[in-house]
A and B are shown apart, each in its own frame.
Chain A
Amino acid sequence: MSLQTEEKAPTMETNKGLNLKATELRLGLPGSESPERNNSEEKDGKSGYSHLVTSGAKRVFSDTINGGSGKWVFSGNAGSDGEVAQNGALFSPRGGAKILGGGGAESNIVKESVVSVPEKKKDQAAPHAAKTQVVGWPPIRSFRKNSMAINPPKNDSDAEEKLNSGCLYVKVSMDGAPYLRKVDLKTYSSYFELSSGLEKMFSCFTIGQCTSHGATARDGLSESRLVDLLHGSEYVLTYEDKDGDWMLVGDVPWNMFTETCKRMRIMKSCDATGLAPRAMEKCRNRN
């Protein structure tokens, strides 16, 4: 599947005990907004689109991503109120729909697709984060998206930072999985995030099944088992670089990795012997 990796990630709460307040996802009832969210938007100063955000609370309800890096704002539909997930945690874009049950002809569904924002992005000085992204929106073909990523629109002093705009899709395959996935490397800023994202994406292959509503990902037990699988003896994460060589992920600095990674493969450890030494060699040769 070529869905955005974290698009449906439950919340960052599942990540290992880091400060998650900044990136906590909330879903408010129609017309309400949590004060905290509003504050962080103002503080952020990144009001690029905030004047465009719908403010007609009586007609629509909207949700923005905490931490201010979310630019895509989703509005529910005008008119009737809808029921939303009571626990407030958004774990899938269809959470609302399921709770309402079938046949809700008059019901108002919130379509929320959110990306979990890497927690470092609160820091203004850091290169800007990936924006909240919905798969396939705005509807621009990959060729154009990738071209724009390489040729930043403005040649000003921020060109360096702006080089990070756009998407960088690479295919990820897993030994034994029936199909490939695609991830956008630009939405991660570290190996840790990449690894978490991949764990969530491929968890259902290793676990064997998905239980309903993303419970798989929220279920600490299955996650930690997958962590063991990926970090332990069963699987390793490898990538093919620009030269066509297969390397172990994690050996080079993150930025270098995103620049050279063409595709990734989650291999069984037993198949991955002999990779590590070559990776180190290459590093040495490069420097």
Chain B
Amino acid sequence: MDPSTKLTKEIEVLKQVLPLITSHKDRNSVSQVCKDFYHVERCSRTKVFIGNCYAVSPEMVARRFPNIRSVTLKGKPRFADFNLVPENWGADVHSWLVVFAEFYPFLEELRLKRMTVSDASLEFLATSFTEFRALSLSSCDGFSTDGLEAIATHCKALTELDIQENDIDDVSGDWLSCFPEDFASLEVLNFSSLNTDVSFDVLEDLVCRCKSLRVLKVNKNISLEQLQRLLVWTPQLIELGTGSFNQELVPRQFQMLESAFDNCKNLSTISGLWEATSQNLAALYPVSARLSFLNLSYANLQSSALAELLAHCSNLRRLWVLDTVEDKGLEAVGSCCPFLEELRVFPAGPFDQDMDYGVTESGLVAVSNGCRRLKYVLYFCMQMTNDAVATVVQNCPDFTHFRLCIMNPSQPDYLTNEPMDEAFGAVVKNCTNLERLSLSGLLTDLTFEYIGKYAKKLEILSVAFAGSSDLGMQQVLEGCPMLRKLEIRDCPFGDAALLSGLDKYESMRSLWMSTCNLTMTGCKELAKERPRLNVEVIKDEETDEETDKVYVYRSLAGPRSDAPPFVVSL
């Protein structure tokens, strides 16, 4: 068989196989095999993931991928979630929409995270794409409920409307009433983070019509009684976000609620549960054994209430709670949920003056004793010790995500007064599959030496108030081959540290450094040596620190053309 015939056959096989390959990482690999594979892949790709909206231009995307139906776009650096990125920084979706309208008129899905989206953009979206089906907005800003009205009014084929934790103007709940009366295609509806009232009658009608609804997350203005009425129409629900869960129910109402839950045979996720009382939580018992994800992070539960509930939730894989449950509540987690893979403990009152509750190292140890399959932990605590963390990772060596937040910055081991270096050393030594790590507590360069030496699969590292010298950052940059995102704040890393990553940054998505020791000299040097990186300095007008915030990322699109005056591209 001559080579060209062989290749043709391979291409034929590839064309058959490609529709089954959906992961963008796999597709990227396929496209790198040879030019022919590249061309076959690019024409057959229907979903594109763009992790940094400034890494590439919309025109470039359209040129390469002619047949896209689904786009995921991420914008601002993650620290924007914590008010570290000024308003009007950028990541406006509009220019993308304009290009999509021209090249992807049949676009069906748009998933945005940390982008700025205006009402005008939402209207443009709703009216430009006749097949549009799914909109997901997470941590976005710039729009109001008026924009949602446009979506509800015009998107006749909508199956998904997922509004998560955005910074928006919540003007009114009228948007829900904008769905046409015969509209029945919704499968996912999440408006849990909106604060205004929607018309319950409209909601009930909508939910009743949408027989394929599998995810329903309402906001806390929906009462328990109303929830029960909704559940009657949605026995097929897989994920439920309740409204307020603290209404006092008479026995008959409670029974109706309990039986409504019982009818939901496919329910595996429950969230919402605002201000849940333990009496009302008992209504969940019929479905508790089936639950794989329980999000109690908006329910101020005490330890006993949590223990009562968890006694019924033996199959739980993911649990989010508030630290009001305290160590005692976490002991219950350890004893009731042996299959637990993910635990997140959020602080209920991190800024509370008289905070005398919260979780400590013993809570985490208790969980690790009972939940040996733990892979993901996010833990906000008041105190921690090196020994406790070492015990935790010995019990649970499978961690892929270890995010520890000791809430007092730079706090040492409270028993020994030593830095927390050994804690994170134990994490990286024991957890060979570690992908994501967030540090806290008093840390010297030794922590970073450990990370550079052992964390060979680390992809995301978050550092705050840590390190002693440039060497720390350097060791991470040199030692972690799979590092993609590095975000640093308030650390003593200077120009030398920055420049030690000269050969590294193009293999990463981005680097963020704020309130470190960078100077304009170092940043300019980096920009000069690596023209394919965008080196952006965000000027902090208060302190006149030119290099208070530096954001470095690889880009094919060159320096930003839409940068506001306080963002300087070097």
Residue ranges of A at the interface with B (Cβ–Cβ < 8 Å):
1-3, 8, 46, 48-49, 51-56, 59-60, 69, 71-80, 92-94, 97, 102-109, 111, 113, 128-131, 133-144, 147-148, 151-154, 158, 162, 165-167, 169, 171, 178-182, 201, 204, 210-214
Please tell me the size bucket of the interface on B: 35 or more
A1 touches B410 (CB 8 A): no
**Chain A residues within 8 Å of B175, by CB:** none
Between B167, B353, B410, B412, the greatest number of chain A beta carbons within 10 A of the residue's beta carbon is seen for B353
Q: How far is the CB of B327 from chain A (nearest CB, A)?
A: 15
B82 touches A136 (CB 8 A): yes
Given contacts A2-B87, A77-B492, A104-B494, whether A8 and B382 have CB atoms under 8 Å apart is no
Q: Which of B3-11, B153-161, B539-547 contacts A (4 or more CB under 8 A)?
A: B539-547
Residue ranges of B at the interface with A (Cβ–Cβ < 8 Å):
79, 81-88, 139, 165, 167, 193, 274-275, 297-298, 300, 322, 324, 346-357, 380, 382-383, 405, 407-412, 414, 417, 419, 442, 444, 462, 464-465, 467-471, 489-492, 494-496, 515, 517, 519, 521-522, 540-545, 548, 564-566
Between A71, A135, A139, A201, the greatest number of chain B beta carbons within 10 A of the residue's beta carbon is seen for A139
**Chain A residues within 8 Å of B411, by CB:** 52, 54, 73, 75
B517 touches A109 (CB 8 A): yes
B565 touches A178 (CB 8 A): yes
Q: How far is the CB of B487 from chain A (nearest CB, A)?
A: 10
B564 touches A137 (CB 8 A): no
Between B346, B350, B407, B417, the greatest number of chain A beta carbons within 10 A of the residue's beta carbon is seen for B350
A2 touches B354 (CB 8 A): no
Q: Which of A80, A140, A165, A179 contacts B352 (CB 8 A)?
A: A165
Give A284 to B181 CA distance when docked, in angstroms.
Answer: 43
Give A144 to B192 CA distance when docked, in angstroms.
Answer: 12
Q: How far is the CB of A7 from chain B (nearest CB, A)?
A: 8
Number of inter-chain CB pairs below 8 Å: 222
B84 touches A153 (CB 8 A): no
A94 touches B353 (CB 8 A): no
B444 touches A103 (CB 8 A): no
B300 touches A103 (CB 8 A): no
A2 touches B349 (CB 8 A): no
A162 touches B352 (CB 8 A): yes
Residue of A nearest to B382 (CB): A52
Q: How far is the CB of A159 from chain B (nearest CB, A)?
A: 11
Instruction: Knowing that A8-B542, A46-B353, A182-B83 touch, tell me 15 more A-B residue pairs with CB under 8 angstroms.
Output: A3-B542, A46-B354, A54-B411, A56-B412, A72-B409, A77-B467, A78-B442, A80-B468, A104-B492, A105-B471, A111-B409, A138-B347, A141-B81, A153-B352, A178-B565
**Chain B residues within 8 Å of A3, by CB:** 83, 540, 542
In the assembled complex, 24 residue pairs joining A and B whose CB atoms fall closer than 8 Å, in A order, are A1-B86, A46-B353, A53-B408, A56-B412, A72-B408, A78-B419, A93-B515, A106-B469, A111-B515, A130-B351, A131-B353, A135-B83, A137-B82, A138-B405, A139-B462, A141-B139, A142-B167, A151-B274, A152-B349, A154-B324, A165-B352, A178-B566, A181-B87, A213-B543
A94 touches B548 (CB 8 A): yes
Between A48, A133, A144, the greatest number of chain B beta carbons within 10 A of the residue's beta carbon is seen for A144
A-B pairs with the 5 shortest C-beta distances?
A: A136-B82, A128-B353, A153-B348, A75-B410, A2-B83
Give A25 to B341 CA distance when docked, in angstroms.
Answer: 45
B495 touches A54 (CB 8 A): no
A60 touches B349 (CB 8 A): no
Residue of B nearest to A60 (CB): B442
